[in-house]
Structure 1
Amino acid sequence: MTASWTSCPDLVACLLLCATTALSQDFQLQPLNSTVLRGFDARFNATVQGKWEVMTWHVKGLLVLSVSNRVFFNVTSSSPQFSARPCTNGNVNCVAFTIHNVTRSQAGPIVCSVLGHYEFKTAQLQVEESGTVSIMGGNVTAVQDQQVAFQCMTSDWFPAPNISWSLNGEPASGSLFNTSNVPDGDVFNSTSVLSFQAVSNATVACWGTVSTLPNPISSSSFLAVVPKPPDWTVLIAVVVSFGSAGLLVLLIFGIVFCCRRRKEKKPNYQDEMSKRVRTQSQVSSVSAAGQGQGQVNAGYVLDGQTNAAPSQHSDCGFSQRNGQEARQWLWLQTTLPGTRGDDRQDTPVMERELRVVGEWRGMQPRRSRSVDIGMAAWLDRRLERRLDRRLERRLDRRLERRLDRRRVIIVNENNMP
């Protein structure tokens, strides 16, 4: 018999493997991975088939609880935080191990072992932690169609939280916000920014959560949208454009009008001479109708020019003869025939003005003809106006004298026998 067992080593190995597998299947631990939120309870169930006497539980390598099943079910715990009980009343083959008020320090391997021919079982415990959520800045007021941004800050979370946004209770698109996580020791802090275009009033909420959190933690803010003020840019641009065009047109018309007026008022030497000739003709006709005949003093020379040759006082291209004729004509105006002494009371003033004209026309050297003609025309117009007024006064006085003489003649004729 012994020889037969010795001659079959493969059969022995197969039997031992089957026995070991059978024994290992008599002991199970569930769940093998558990994730709970800090402050909640973590529970593991150990199921043993067959008779067992002692069961122990280790948390991160430390023995925290033992269960004895020799006489009756007896639990020995190192802390009230750890407890064990049968899964159902009277069924000691299933033991429920519970860690109350789990902390982050207890996260790690949970080992259950049964005394006897049972293997130990290991499960993993993970502990999550929730922190705070807040929207920075509070309520926001924005103009319609303005781009607005909300910033959400989370702190003291483990692991990094899952952050989402909602607008008026509706989830916001992921393209509208971005989130960044920053580790701070054994926790995480996160920042999320939501940007969108303000259309109408809205309630904006930021949500933070982890897988074990029953209800996400949120923070909300209210967005108040005010109507967009009217855009006057286009109207102002149109008004400015038309106003500028109008001012430009007015400026052009003004320039053209001034040029025409200046051109119309521009003195013409020939016209001035024609005026003088006509005036001289009128004076000659008046003089012929008077009592005496006046003579033109052709030998009269203005003061200060007796020793100067005419060629010395002439400008380039300006006619000396025209200047002489103008002086003789002006002298004729001041020496009208048939006038009395009181009619010539302004003769010194006229002589002085004639002297100015003569000096201007004869003694200004090296002056352009346009300037000479303009100044001479101005002086001539001034003298002409004064002469016209004096001529009217003289003609009135002469007419009165003639009428007086006519009356005397009529009276004498009536008185004759």
Structure 2
Amino acid sequence: MDVFILSLFLLTIGGVSAQVIEPQSAVVLKGSQARFNCSTTQAQPVMTWLMNGLLVVNIQQNSVYNSDGRFALTNFSTPGSFKWEFMITNVLRGDNGTVTCQIFNVAPQTSTLSVQERGSVAIIGGNQTTTEGVQTTFQCQALGWYPEPTVSWSVNGVGVNTCNNTSVAQGNVFNNNCTLSVTAAKNSSVQCLAKVSAMSTPDSDTRFLTVVPKPTIVPKPNIRDQTILIAVTVAFSAAALLFLLIVLIIICCRRKREKSSYEEEVRRAQLQAQHRSRARGDGHGRDNRGYARDGHYGDNHNGGVWHTNQSNKHQRAYPMDDYSGTRNNRHLTMV
């Protein structure tokens, strides 16, 4: 306590020098380190550091006194430059606020400290397999962040801005749900990314989307077109059947006619053969009524039948069927 009182007393007496604190503001993650540098152009016997107005570190004649083991000072002074680094380890959310460097008889220099908190990020569910062209949904949860995180999606390494984002404050942290809808086109890697400004790179979680080809679907025929096709087929079939029937009828009629003509020819030939047979054997001159048979004459009593033998030029009366080796001519003499 006496040291702090002495430090305040020394701040009230002489000396003027320029003073600079760097950085002007710092943003760090909870549990990490925060560093601030305070420098003057002249060496000063007393330097104090305050957080949110409370004295936490005091330097007197190069001796360091601090109120908490999380605070530390390192001397980086060189000839002509008086410089000390103030470091806070294991930064807490309660460390948010101002950090002030006070040098004797110089206006204090103040910086700001912002402490952020990293949560977790995960895509709900495992890898997915879906059919080409089907819309698929991925859901990402970012839990326990401060302040509210930025959540985004990446498909095959390309950022996607379509994200239905809902954020809920739970105590002093934020929980975030983000949904991505993607149409399956090809095998892809899907990433959900979450970060706050204190992070140089976002945290992420990855799932894989496997796309299978769409099944080949044979289109159903139009009922009307099918009916027309059936009607046309039936009509052509009926026409072909009718044509074949007509051809068969014509062929049958022609064959019947040819058969009838053939039978008629056969019948006519048979009749002619019968006539020739009668003329040669059974007739014996019956076709000549004037022919004399067995001493009788035919019905024509006015004449007689004479046969001329051309070999001896003698006329005889004998039947024409007498084959004596000479040619016989039958003559009918009318008186």
Is 1:156 paired with 2:144?
Answer: yes
Correspondence for 1:31: 23
Query: Compared with structure 1, are the counterparts of its residues 164 and 185 closer, same or farther at alpha carbon in structure 2 (3 Å cutoff)?
Result: same
Deviates more, 1:148-157 or 1:181-190: 181-190
Correspondence for 2:91: 102
Quick check: which has more Rg, 1 or 2?
2
Residues 273-306 of structure 1: per-residue CA shift (max 9 Å, x gap): xxxxxxxxxxxxxxxxxxxxxxxxxxxxxxxxxx
Which of 206, 212, 215 is the matching residue for 2:198? 212
1:24 to partner: Cα distance: 7.1
Equivalents in 2 of 1:146, 1:209: separation in Å?
Answer: 30
Equivalents in 2 of 1:183, 1:91: separation in Å?
Answer: 51
1:89 to partner: Cα distance: 6.0
Correspondence for 1:83: 72
Query: Compared with structure 1, are the counterparts of its residues 112 and 227 closer, same or farther at alpha carbon in structure 2 (3 Å cutoff)?
Result: same
Equivalents in 2 of 1:195, 1:24: separation in Å?
Answer: 64
Query: Compared with structure 1, are the counterparts of its residues 25 and 182 closer, same or farther at alpha carbon in structure 2 (3 Å cutoff)?
Result: farther
Task: Indicate the structure with greater helix content.
Answer: 1
SS at match of 1:105: helix
Which of 42, 60, 64 is the matching residue for 2:56? 64
Equivalents in 1 of 2:19, 2:81: separation in Å?
Answer: 13
Check conservation: 1:54, 1:68, Cα contact below 8 A.
Answer: yes
Q: When the two structures are superposed, what TM-score results if normalisation uses the length of structure 2?
A: 0.60
Query: Compared with structure 1, are the counterparts of its residues 208 and 91 closer, same or farther at alpha carbon in structure 2 (3 Å cutoff)?
Result: farther
Is 1:236 paired with 2:217?
Answer: no
Residues 360-403 of structure 1: per-residue CA shift (max 9 Å, x gap): xxxxxxxxxxxxxxxxxxxxxxxxxxxxxxxxxxxxxxxxxxxx
Equivalents in 1 of 2:131, 2:106: separation in Å?
Answer: 73
Equivalents in 2 of 1:114, 1:78: separation in Å?
Answer: 18
Residues 54-203 of structure 1 aligned to structure 2 (within 5 Å): 54-69=46-61, 73-88=62-77, 93-115=82-104, 117-168=105-156, 170-174=157-161, 176-203=162-189
Is 1:227 paired with 2:213?
Answer: yes
1:87 to partner: Cα distance: 2.1
Residues 121-144 of structure 1: per-residue CA shift (max 9 Å, x gap): 221100111111111122111110
Equivalents in 1 of 2:232, 2:42: separation in Å?
Answer: 114
1:91 to partner: Cα distance: 7.2
Is 1:45 paired with 2:60?
Answer: no
Check conservation: 1:86, 1:92, Cα contact below 8 A.
Answer: no
Structure with higher RCO (Cα < 8 A, 6+ apart): 2
Query: Compared with structure 1, are the counterparts of its residues 178 and 212 closer, same or farther at alpha carbon in structure 2 (3 Å cutoff)?
Result: same
1:153 to partner: Cα distance: 1.0
Residues 172-225 of structure 1: per-residue CA shift (max 9 Å, x gap): 332x33323222222111122222210111111111112221332111111111
Deviates more, 1:90-99 or 1:55-64: 90-99
Equivalents in 2 of 1:24, 1:188: separation in Å?
Answer: 47
Identity over aligned residues, as a percent?
33
Equivalents in 2 of 1:27, 1:196: separation in Å?
Answer: 56
* Count of aligned pairs between the two proteins: 221
Equivalents in 2 of 1:189, 1:90: separation in Å?
Answer: 52
1:45 to partner: Cα distance: 0.9
Task: Indicate the structure with greater strand content.
Answer: 2
Check conservation: 1:53, 1:68, Cα contact below 8 A.
Answer: yes
Correspondence for 2:325: none
SS at match of 2:76: strand
Gaps of 5+ in 2: 1-14, 234-335
Equivalents in 1 of 2:80, 2:172: separation in Å?
Answer: 41
SS at match of 2:68: coil
SS at match of 1:44: strand
